[in-house]
Structure 1
């Protein structure tokens, strides 16, 4: 008799979302969250890591490549998320990948140097993940990796290396990227991100009654049954909230 394989799930910490993916992300998977500017990608990723520490006791790492760690902490307080509290408890680590690039001093515990190559960049993230025994990771964002490393023409190789090391670490990861024209089928900046990820989530806007409404679409999620419908979501005082039974666009 063949024993049915059960996929271990990781709760997203995003109200309503896990109902769409059979209870959570497959453990150890890499998920791409893509969308235009202002669609909520950073909030989605940080919420995944923060709620992991707050609700499930799972340590996590945030690699911020678009804003300084101190700015990220301040912005997330708007949702009542005290990142520093869990940093002090060793349940959360923020890697500052901005200060050195723009030539600003940093007092952060974890700081990426300004001249790291791809291999050193990935090795540093690996060390921090192991240092706090992280189970969750978010890297915000892929275009900033290319900018930082001055290796945009080699982004495919870097992303393949990144995917390999993430699978080796066994963390459940979210990578964010820009979707230049999602309405025309372009859901990532380089056209390779969606192929290295095991899951792809699109966050976007739709005009409805002369107003922009947010929606979420799961384009891919391996080992998971999911709908291909567009579900409404909003970003309120508690973060990202998805409405699986709401009006489908």
Structure 2
């Protein structure tokens, strides 16, 4: 007798979201979170790691390539998230990928040097993931990888390498990227990120009664059933919340 295969799930830690993906992200998948500036991509990604530790005891790594680790910690304290507490416990690691690029000294435990090539960049992330036995990984953001490695013209090759090593590590990963004009179908900076990732979540704005409202759309998620509707979400005092019953058509 053959039993039905059940896909192992990783809870997102985002209220309302897991209902839209049949109980959580497929374990070990790579998800692209895309959207215009200010849509909540970094909050979504960091919440995934922070709540992974707080609620499910799953260590996580955050690679921050757009702002210094110290600034990221400060911003996330606004949600009541004490990232530093879990860093001291060895359950969260923040890799500072900004300081060296802008020529600032860094006192962080994990720092990317300013002149790493693609292979060294990926190898360093791999080492940190293994060092804390991470189950979750965030890289914020893909355009900053291209800028940092001066490989923008070879971004496809870099992303293919990145996706391969993420799958090899077995972590469940979120990558963020910019969506310049999602209303016109351009949902990523380079137009190829969505083809490499196994899942794509779009965060965007829609105008309702002379006011901008946030919405979320799952464009793709392999290995699971998922909704294809637009759902409202808000960034509250304690993080991001999705409203599965409040569909935007």
Q: CA deviation at 1:226?
A: 1.0
For the pair 1:178 / 2:178, whether they are aligned, the reply is yes
The within-5 A match list for 1:221-240 is 221-240=221-240
Partner of 2:100: 100
Q: Root-mean-square deviation (CA), in Å?
A: 0.6
Partner of 1:2: 2
TM-score w.r.t. structure 1 length?
Answer: 0.99
For the pair 1:88 / 2:85, whether they are aligned, the reply is no
Structure 1 Cα separation of the partners of residues 184 and 146 of structure 2: 24
Structure 1 Cα separation of the partners of residues 70 and 143 of structure 2: 21
Q: CA deviation at 1:2?
A: 2.5
Which segments of 5 or more consecutive residues in structure 1 lack a partner in the other structure? none
Paired residue total? 249
Cα offsets for 1:86-124 (capped at 9, x unmatched)? 000000000000000000000000000000000000000
Partner of 2:43: 43
Aligned-partner SS, 1:107: coil
Partner of 1:111: 111
* Alpha-carbon contact 2:229-2:247 (below 8 Å) kept: no
Structure 2 Cα separation of the partners of residues 17 and 113 of structure 1: 36
Which segments of 5 or more consecutive residues in structure 2 lack a partner in the other structure? none
Aligned-partner SS, 1:79: coil
Aligned-partner SS, 2:240: strand
TM-score w.r.t. structure 2 length?
Answer: 0.99
Partner of 1:146: 146
Structure 1 Cα separation of the partners of residues 10 and 142 of structure 2: 23
After TM superposition, what 4+ stretches of structure 1 lie above 6 angstroms from structure 2?
Answer: none
